[in-house]
């Protein structure tokens, strides 16, 4: 294994088996999975319907390329496209979120003729050598040259941002007044975006604006209400497209809507998705309009593995399970219950500086009690380790790696939430006694 791939725990977990929201290590110990393999296991580990679809296909045909055709490809594309509004009906199938975002950059440049790309500070859009320019999280930036033309707008973070803000969550930043319309701070953050557009890019020559609907690796950051809609308007005035990165927020995870961008009342020009799309199978997609896709025809294109028969049947089965088992609604109901319990936990433990998120995409930020100063990493690591030792797997993220990221398989229930809260409560009590 390369040294860049590190263990997140002092005493690593050697996983052996998975079933729905549960994982088992080599000694048979059971863990509740609150991270879903980096927000990837959407409908549950080894879901029987998804497994059955793959097993049947394996015995029929493993692979073609998209230079040929096969029925499962069309069945899947038709079902996936039906989940999108309006003219978002052209589907590219790829293998990973990084590949999907690379393709989105290419499509935006081909369609607009503009080369400059804008993303938000603390964003994560992939780890290829060129997407390091689009990604704006320092821990994922190697000290190597990246292509020119990538710019990062001021981070619209209600908890830590310079203008504060209210967000579309049951949990608000203390001191912020909830408003029915746009958050007043949204206009201030968009003003900063306009300053970037007015000073750092050629006039009227933006290719695209990339934004996660809720930032994932950046620490489950929600934007002030109204920000994305106003930002899209500003970008369009400069000739640019809006690319919604739904790699972590898509497929019903946020509860109220199937796609995270719908929460913001916007319609993107391009949507990228991966992770939960295949429940752990290597699969990703880009969805756009016929007009934008037509610009790609200036050169030949193929994808060796994208849309292969196995990926197609798995993707289709995942969409069917989400519908048949009501997992979007479960994300809403269980997610609301989860964040309410986390808010109660916050009242008992001042080390919890912020609780945020929607549905089953939640974040818990740890701070020095009474401040917004990030809790020092060794203490975060100790709490994280204790939670694992008690049988719950949770992730960390954010600029200072002090945010617990809760993004479980969407099949978890309220009993799982109660167990998780009890475990976190015990771990935080142990921390406070030191």
Q: Is residue 91 part of a domain?
A: yes
Residue 170's pLDDT is 94
Q: Is residue 310 part of a domain?
A: yes
DSSP 327: H
Residue 240 sits in the same domain as residue 110: yes
* Predicted TM-score (pTM) of this structure: 0.96
Residue 122 sits in the same domain as residue 242: yes
134, 150 contact by CB (below 8 A): yes
Give 117-168 pLDDT, tens digit per residue.
999 999 999 999 989 999 999 899 989 888 899 999 999 999 999 999 999 9
Q: How many CB atoms lie within 10 A of CB 284?
A: 25
Residue 180 sits in the same domain as residue 243: yes
Last residue of a domain, which of 305, 324, 343?
324
Last residue of a domain, which of 324, 357, 376?
324
**Phi–psi pair at 342, nearest 5 degrees:** -65, -35
Mean pLDDT in the chain? 96
Q: Is residue 47 part of a domain?
A: no
Residue 285 sits in the same domain as residue 363: no
Domain limits for position 100: 53-324
Q: What is the CATH number of the domain that holds 217?
A: 3.40.640.10
Residue 175's pLDDT is 80
Query: Which pairing describes strands 392-393 and 30-33: parallel, antiparallel, or unpaired?
Result: parallel
Q: What is the CATH number of the domain that holds 421?
A: 3.90.1150.10
Q: What is the count of structural domains for the chain?
A: 2
Residue 363's pLDDT is 98
Which parts of 34-175 fold into alpha helices (H)? 36-39, 48-58, 71-81, 97-112, 131-134
Q: Is residue 5 part of a domain?
A: no
């Amino acid at each position: 294994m390369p040294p860049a791939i590190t263990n997140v725990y002092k005493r690593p977990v050697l996983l052996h088996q998975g079933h729905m929201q549960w994982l088992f290590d080599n000694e048979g110990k059971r863990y509740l999975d609150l991270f879903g393999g980096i927000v990837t296991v959407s409908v549950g580990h080894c879901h029987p319907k998804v497994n059955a679809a793959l097993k049947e296909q394996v015995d029929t045909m493993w692979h073609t390329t998209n230079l040929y055709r096969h029925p499962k490809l069309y069945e899947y594309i038709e079902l996936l496209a039906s989940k999108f509004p309006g003219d978002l009906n052209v589907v590219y199938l790829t293998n990973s979120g990084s590949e999907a975002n690379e393709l989105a950059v290419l499509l935006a440049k081909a369609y607009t003729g503009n080369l400059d790309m804008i993303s938000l500070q603390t964003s994560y859009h992939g780890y290829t050598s060129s997407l390091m320019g689009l990604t704006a999280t320092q821990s994922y930036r190697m000290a190597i040259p990246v292509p020119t033309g990538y710019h990062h707008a001021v981070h619209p973070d209600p908890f830590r941002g310079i203008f504060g803000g209210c967000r579309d969550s049951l949990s608000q930043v203390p001191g912020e007044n909830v408003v029915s319309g746009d958050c007043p701070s949204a206009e201030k953050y968009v003003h900063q975006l306009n300053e970037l557009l007015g000073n750092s890019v050629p006039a009227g020559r933006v290719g695209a604006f990339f934004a996660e609907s809720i930032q994932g690796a950046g620490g489950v950051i929600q934007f002030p209400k109204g920000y994305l809609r106003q930002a899209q308007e500003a970008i369009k005035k400069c000739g640019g497209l809006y690319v919604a990165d739904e790699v972590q927020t898509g497929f019903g995870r946020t509860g109220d809507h199937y796609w995270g961008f719908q929460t913001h009342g916007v319609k993107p020009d391009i949507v990228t998705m991966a992770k939960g799309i295949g429940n752990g199978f290597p699969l990703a997609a880009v969805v756009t309009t016929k007009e934008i896709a037509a610009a790609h025809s200036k050169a030949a294109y193929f994808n060796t593995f994208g849309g292969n028969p196995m990926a197609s049947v798995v993707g289709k089965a995942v969409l069917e399970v989400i519908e048949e088992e009501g997992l979007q609604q479960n994300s809403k109901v269980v997610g609301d219950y989860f964040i309410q319990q986390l808010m109660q936990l916050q009242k008992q433990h001042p080390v919890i500086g912020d609780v945020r998120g929607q549905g089953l995409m939640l974040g818990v930020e740890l701070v020095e009690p009474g401040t917004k100063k990030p809790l020092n990493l060794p203490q975060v690591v100790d709490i994280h380790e204790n939670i694992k030792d008690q049988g719950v797997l949770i992730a960390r993220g954010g600029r200072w790696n002090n945010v617990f990221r809760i993004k479980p398989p969407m099949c978890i229930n309220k009993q799982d939430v109660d167990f998780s809260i009890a475990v976190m409560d015990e771990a935080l009590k142990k921390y406070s006694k030191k």
